[in-house]
Structure 1
């Protein structure tokens, strides 16, 4: 369960230090290599809720095995890619391949809670958060080591042994539907899956994300497609007997909607830092990919410690407020950096960012677990990741626009202002959210 859930973050963090070497090897500027980031999140943001819904209906085993197997295929394609286009295709495959890990984990936790009658898996939820943070620690450093040892292609080849291990463990340990651990089969899967709703959801999301990846007035038609497809999707879901995303229930679940909104802006800040700041440390500050990875370690080490300590409490309001403050302080510090800044200033920025990294992910994850309809735990968890990936798309687009052909200090400061604005929105969404109590995350299942 832990291995499957970290396949996505390890590919997210490794690519951060590989963007510059890939660009140099393939003759692509940052505005083009940004598609390596966007491609994975475009595929994952679309696939997470779809795969999550399939897991809700049929259990996690088959979906987990199929998806993680695709990760291995993507690793081979990426390692052998002759150009940037094939490399982007490999990242799309990785996006779809990593879709099942997190929703499957949340569904397994819900199933175990129902089996044992213990609906407070705080320790396991914390373990999931810490595992993701640990991989985030290893990712940039491991990426730097792999690039130094065998070039950037090794960062894709790494997926092959990881996928093999995930598939083998999944076959050995994941409960089979016959064991009663998964959802029962349905006689009419097409009706249960709401295929028209999924197609309209895909059209809405793809057109929106394509627009966000390259903001320009000439692409106004993508906005029109987004609005039209979104309206058709809403009309379909409000009429469907078994909707893909039950908008009637979701619309009445204000706490969950607020959580999704916070996830979007939180990940604008997080991913703009992960990709934008890392590129600047290499091109604007002059660090090697290996040392750029080392510069991220203070953030992730502190994030792990914060997650472990704060994971003992189910309360979320304090975590969210402190996470918001950490984001804002870190963004202000970035605005003071220049190419002549001492190295300890970069490490200080990374250290401050460790606070929101450790708090926000855990608080958002716990909120969804307790706020979502138990029958849609996996799809709700997948939708959380979708909102997060929309935030990553905005961050990627902002990074490409800020840097252009080179990640210089002026572009980093421009990006920092975008991050600061998102951080302020995150703070306001938390301060004015009256559904957040001072104690445990609100349990809204009676309302849905």
Structure 2
């Protein structure tokens, strides 16, 4: 009887994507964006409470993304090997611990440490979701789960709508510490959903069959030296980007030496952490990572820099600064839903690039005396690339990456996005200095415009984008 029930469940499950997986997938994937958007409206209150200028509170942004940029591909590789369940549970538990530490933080240093822990805690959500998507596609034979990919993008955009407004409300009710405490119930919900809904055995091929001996062999062959060299490379590079100054030249030397050692090791490793031979032959995927970095320089510079300016340079409260961001995310949700019905990638990215260029140009016309509707207009324009770029880049990686390494490939996408965010954060800090005034905002907007033009050119001249949904772009060259 039990076997018959299992067989019936199996036949039912193969009819389509297992919708029971959606709640933990969606909640896990939004833990990072909700903290990213809330912090945008809490930087000024935290700075006022702890006596820290924008150049120091910028570390609250950078610390989160430093940890996440490092952790995403590492956790993604572990998910590729062992499956998403256990990594999801451990990581989301760290989110709750980080929430407690941040809530009780007595100074900026401890608060930054909590953001590092939070970054590691949010590492598993997105790679786990992409791994589950790929394994479900393999199980069902439906290799284009466009609706679920769109749901992931829309969930992130919806959280981005709620984040700034929720942050402003929480600050009004309980101060900035309430925004840290929010992570505790979110982590509890994510862990419970993971325990109840995620499969106990990995559905990926590498960890397939659930054989303990096979998993033991894979554990023994995890490329720990490769992961360590990757960590040294990324940390030294990002520390340099966080505080651009020639006196820190030695960090670039360390990054170059570690990257050379990393490449030499990975080319010899029997099971490399990042298979450079395969990745090096997948030019479309490499270009996608590059365009993600540039796109997110613009996106995060707007999210953090523009929000700080609306509070300090324009004089809005954190709550009203959050309200100004809402039109952007509402437009992004609508654009994601409408464009998600189409498999095409090239059109999404081209229109998204044009939207960034136009929005940056309008930013240059703003002053402290501009009417509020001009701020709303900029947010509305930015909503178009916000919706199109994230969806187009996500779809590109899904179809361009090696299916057996989809989680680590998705993690690398987020890594490049976070490198872009840290470039944006350090650029905003350098542009503003001690105060986010209009002159600093214009300086930042010029940098954003340059990055936006570069992003547009990368999309215009990449001939592989038209074939990104064919699943056979790895052999192409631009």
TM-score range, shorter chain: over 0.9
Instruction: Specify whether residues 146 and 25 from structure 1 end up closer, same or farther in structure 2 by C-alpha distance, changes over 3 A only.
Output: same
Provide the rounded CA distance (Å) in 2 between the counterparts of 1:255 and 1:399: 30
Given candidates 84, 95, 109, the residue that maps to 1:71 is 95
Provide the rounded CA distance (Å) in 1 between the counterparts of 2:32 and 2:365: 32
Q: What's the counterpart of residue 386 of structure 1?
A: 415
Given candidates 142, 146, 162, the residue that maps to 1:122 is 146
8 A Cα contact 1:6 1:131, kept in partner: yes
Instruction: Measure how far apart 1:445 and its partner are.
Output: 6.8
Relative to the length of structure 2, the TM-score reads 0.92
Instruction: Measure how far apart 1:434 and its partner are.
Output: 1.4
5 Å-filtered alignment, 1:221-240, equals 221-240=250-269
Q: What's the counterpart of residue 289 of structure 1?
A: 318
8 A Cα contact 2:80 2:204, kept in partner: no
Gaps of 5+ in 2: 1-24
Provide the rounded CA distance (Å) in 2 between the counterparts of 1:387 and 1:176: 30
Instruction: Specify whether residues 278 and 398 from structure 1 end up closer, same or farther in structure 2 by C-alpha distance, changes over 3 A only.
Output: same
Provide the rounded CA distance (Å) in 2 between the counterparts of 1:413 and 1:440: 36
5 Å-filtered alignment, 1:181-260, equals 183=208, 184=210, 185-260=214-289
Given candidates 301, 305, 314, the residue that maps to 1:276 is 305
Provide the rounded CA distance (Å) in 2 between the counterparts of 1:192 and 1:110: 23
5 Å-filtered alignment, 1:51-130, equals 51-130=75-154
Given candidates 388, 405, 409, the residue that maps to 1:376 is 405
Q: What are the superposed Cα offsets for residues 47-74 of structure 1, whole Å, 9 maximum, x if unpaired?
A: 0000000000000000000000000000
Provide the rounded CA distance (Å) in 1 between the counterparts of 2:384 and 2:454: 18
Q: What's the counterpart of residue 407 of structure 1?
A: 436
8 A Cα contact 1:372 1:444, kept in partner: no
Provide the rounded CA distance (Å) in 2 between the counterparts of 1:54 and 1:156: 28
| Residue 373 (structure 2) pairs with residue 349 (structure 1) | no
Instruction: Measure how far apart 1:186 and its partner are.
Output: 2.3
* Structure 2 SS opposite 1:186: helix
Q: What's the counterpart of residue 176 of structure 2?
A: 152
8 A Cα contact 1:373 1:445, kept in partner: no
Q: What's the counterpart of residue 335 of structure 1?
A: 364
| Residue 63 (structure 2) pairs with residue 39 (structure 1) | yes
Task: Please report the RMSD computed on the Cα atoms of aligned residues, expressed in angstroms.
Answer: 1.3
8 A Cα contact 2:353 2:452, kept in partner: yes
Gaps of 5+ in 1: none
Provide the rounded CA distance (Å) in 2 between the counterparts of 1:447 and 1:102: 26
8 A Cα contact 1:280 1:408, kept in partner: yes
Instruction: Measure how far apart 1:362 and its partner are.
Output: 0.1
Instruction: Measure how far apart 1:267 and its partner are.
Output: 0.3
Given candidates 318, 323, 332, the residue that maps to 2:352 is 323
Q: What's the counterpart of residue 162 of structure 1?
A: 186
8 A Cα contact 2:83 2:203, kept in partner: no
Instruction: Measure how far apart 1:440 and its partner are.
Output: 5.4
Instruction: Specify whether residues 53 and 180 from structure 1 end up closer, same or farther in structure 2 by C-alpha distance, changes over 3 A only.
Output: closer
Q: What are the superposed Cα offsets for residues 314-349 of structure 1, whole Å, 9 maximum, x if unpaired?
A: 100011100000000000000000000000000000
Provide the rounded CA distance (Å) in 2 between the counterparts of 1:137 and 1:198: 35
Given candidates 2, 5, 9, the residue that maps to 2:33 is 9
Instruction: Specify whether residues 253 and 379 from structure 1 end up closer, same or farther in structure 2 by C-alpha distance, changes over 3 A only.
Output: same
Q: What's the counterpart of residue 472 of structure 2?
A: 444
Instruction: Measure how far apart 1:42 and its partner are.
Output: 0.0
The structure having more radius of gyration, on CA atoms, is: 2
Query: How many residues were matched structurally?
Result: 447
